[in-house]
Amino acid sequence: MRCLLVADEGVLWTLHRLRADGLLPADTTFKVSALIGPVNPASYAVYERLGADSVNIPSDLTLAHFTEIRRVSRAPMDLYVEAPDDLGGYIRMYEAAELIRRGAPLYLKFGLSKSPGIYPYGAQLRDTALAGARERVRRGRLVLDLLARHGADGGMSPLGSRLPGALHRFPLTASEKD
């Protein structure tokens, strides 16, 4: 495992310290969960400084929020352009080009609004899970086609890219370095 989804600030800071101490591989990445996504630039910057390598943001943030967050942090944003109903059900596929322009680096995610919840997943939900996965891929293709029509399909990171480069971190104290 090289990427962990984290839903607690204390756990994030602890994992970051373990990575800094070499107890976790240096290329392990930490993604802040959409369940605790920040709603303002200050909180976004705190997550980056606690060790987040990417941060899920709420799907209902305004375009101005994207601009303001990007001014204070280089950590990639994760955004449901189609959010599951339990995260608001927002659909922002037609804004993808502008969201990318203001928020890049930005990972677009598809959560399928108006779909049944499947967690915790079990064998009884296999067909539902597979159908949902196929639909997410289809909608991803729709967004890629939409970006191409707007001339905004260039400049994507190479496939397999996931390390964001140097990010701002809170300094580790002397006792944490020991």
pLDDT interval class at 174 (50, 70, 90)? low
**Beta-sheet strands, E only, within 67-110:** 77-82, 106-110
- The C-alpha atoms of residue 99 and residue 102 are separated, in whole angstroms, by 5
Domain-by-domain residue ranges, the chain? Answer: 3-177
Cα dihedral value 1, 56, 136, 152, nearest 10: -110
Q: Which helix (H) or strand (E) holds 149?
A: helix 126-149
Better-predicted residue by pLDDT, 147 or 175: 147
Residue 177 has pLDDT above 70, yes or no: no
pLDDT at site 155:
77
pLDDT of residue 163: 67
CATH of 3-177, one of 3.20.20, 1.10.287, 3.30.70, 3.40.50: 3.20.20
pLDDT of res. 175: 61
Q: According to the model, what pLDDT value does residue 53 have?
A: 95
When pLDDT is cut at 50, 70 and 90, the band that residue 165 belongs to is: confident
Summarize pLDDT for 11-53 with one digit per residue, the tens.
Answer: 999 999 999 999 999 999 999 999 998 999 999 999 999 999 9
* 3-state class (DSSP) for residue 82: strand
Range list of β-strands (E), the chain:
3-6, 29-32, 54-57, 77-82, 106-110
User: Does pLDDT of 68 surpass 60?
Assistant: yes
Predicted TM-score (pTM) of this structure: 0.87
